[in-house]
Amino acid sequence: MAPVRIAVTGAAGRISYSLLFRIAAGDLLGPDQPVILQLLDIEPMGKVLQGVSLELRDCAFPLLQDVVIGHDANESFTDAELVFLVGARPRGPGMARKDLLQANAGIFAEQGRALNRVVARDARILVVGNPVNTNTLIAIRNAPDLDPRQFAAMTRLDHNRAVSLLAEKCEVPVTDVRRMTIWGNHSATQFPDLIHAQVQGRPALEWVEREWYENDFIPRVQHRGENIIELEGQSSAGSAAHAAIEHMRSWVFGTPEDDWVSMAVLSDGSYGISEGIVYSFPVTVEGDEFKIVDNLEIDGFCQGKLLETEKELLQEREAVKALL
């Protein structure tokens, strides 16, 4: 079988250290699909990057056909079919993700231009680096020859956090939770939606108190990233890498019948959300295409939450308009 070329940026960083070995072991594309890893980081990380590539080789992974390391996006992205844009500064204690905007925005303008030039024409590009929604918008706008639908920002970690917290509260396995949605920004304004979620096929709100939902569950999901930083002194890495693998698997292999996942994609105006921002929606994937789930009933409570997170994304877009 021909190998799939997979490009990963920030390859000398923490998330990548949890991601690369799993990709090489077959957790992403399965036990029969060979892969070539094309790893990018900045020059000062050259020795670490070399070390990571030696470690990958030292595993003698049967599926890993080659590991190529470099510092030039034009080389690392060449012919890549799957791309993980992880490389960016993480936040520290006391920071909001949008505080990273000025530090990280330039990376996504430059990498958007490189993707435009050299990536495989049908590539799927998942952005992980924060603030992830607006970084994705910057990459999209700098890659005019690619279809914006080839880009997505990762809100799967928030989605997984919400599934896990709900399952724990209801004392059921996580596999009993379906139709979870994270709407909007990967930030403290995101809206984790239990109005449309189901547990064992029944509405989630028949299982939990409304009071718990609004005053405990929502803020806990919204602030889980900070919570991890307070405890570990650095941001989530293992759970982020897992979410990246799951996001890409859903995109490549599709979503289960009667369920959906959360992906932040360029808004097409669905649910009245402004076009031209990258907003997390419930999506299904069939064949090569994702589709925003339509016709969900949006009550006044949901509407207020959808608009609050949209407002923040419009402000972020305004802050980087020179790069768009």
State the catalytic residues.
186
By CB under 6 A, residue 324 contacts ligand LMR: no
Contact between 192 and ligand LMR by CB under 6 A: the answer reads no
Signed CA dihedral, 60, 50, 244, 66: sign only? negative
Q: Which of residues 225-244 bind ligand LMR (CB under 6 A)?
A: 225, 228, 235-236
Is 130 among the residues that bind ligand LMR (CB under 6 A)? yes
Taking CB within 5 to 8 Å according to partner kind, which of ligand LMR, ligand NAD, none is near residue 154? ligand NAD
Residue ranges with strand state E in the chain? 4-9, 35-40, 64-70, 82-85, 124-127, 151-153, 177-178, 181-183, 191-193, 198-199, 202-203, 261-266, 278-286, 289-292
For residue 12, the partner it binds in ligand NAD, ligand LMR, none, with Cβ less than 5 to 8 A by kind, is ligand NAD
Identify what 228 binds: ligand LMR, ligand NAD, none; CB under 5 to 8 Å per kind.
ligand LMR
Measured CA to CA, the distance from residue 188 to residue 164 in angstroms comes to 18
Q: Rounded to whole angstroms, how far apart are CA atoms 183 and 304?
A: 12
Q: How far is the CB of 112 from ligand NAD (least distance, A)?
A: 12
- Which of the listed partners (ligand NAD, ligand LMR, none) does 87 bind, with a CB threshold of 5 to 8 Å by partner kind? ligand NAD
Q: How far is the CB of 109 from ligand NAD (least distance, A)?
A: 11
In the list ligand NAD, ligand LMR, none, the entry touching 148 (Cβ below 5 to 8 angstroms by class) is none
Sort 201 into a burial class: Cβ within 10 Å, 0-12 / 13-18 / 19+. Answer: exposed
Q: Which does 45 bind (CB under 5 to 8 A by kind): ligand NAD, ligand LMR, none?
A: ligand NAD
Applying CB under 6 A, does 98 fall inside the site for ligand LMR? Answer: no
The residue nearest ligand LMR at its CB is 225
User: Is the CB of residue 313 less than 8 Å from the CB of residue 133?
Assistant: yes
Considering the complex, state which of residue 199 and residue 225 has its C-beta at the smaller distance from ligand NAD.
225
Q: Which of 108, 101, 106, 100 is closest to 125 using CA atoms?
A: 108
141 lies in the binding site for ligand LMR (CB under 6 A): no
The structure tokens listed for 223 are: 């602030």
Distance of CA 297 to the CA centre of its chain: 26
H or E stretch including 175?
A: none
**Number of residue whose CB is nearest ligand NAD:** 13
Smallest gap from residue 113 Cβ to ligand NAD (A): 12
CB of 104 closer than 8 Å to CB of 88: yes
Amino acid at 302: C
- In the complex, minimum distance from the CB of residue 153 to ligand LMR, in angstroms, rounded to a whole number: 11
Q: Given candidates 5, 97, 141, 249, which one binds ligand LMR under the rule CB under 6 A?
A: 97
Number of residues this chain uses to bind ligand LMR (CB under 6 A): 9
| Binding interface with ligand NAD (CB under 6 A) | 9-10, 12-15, 40-42, 45, 86-91, 107, 128-130, 132, 154, 157, 186, 235-237, 240
- Can you tell me the distance from the alpha carbon of 130 to that of 109, in angstroms, rounded to the nearest whole number? 14
Q: At closest approach, how far in Å is the CB of 237 from ligand NAD?
A: 5
Which 3 state secondary structure label does DSSP give 135? helix
Q: What phi and psi values does residue 249 have, to the nearest 5 degrees? A: -65, -40
The residues of the shown chain that bind ligand LMR, judged by CB under 6 A, are 90-91, 97, 130, 157, 225, 228, 235-236
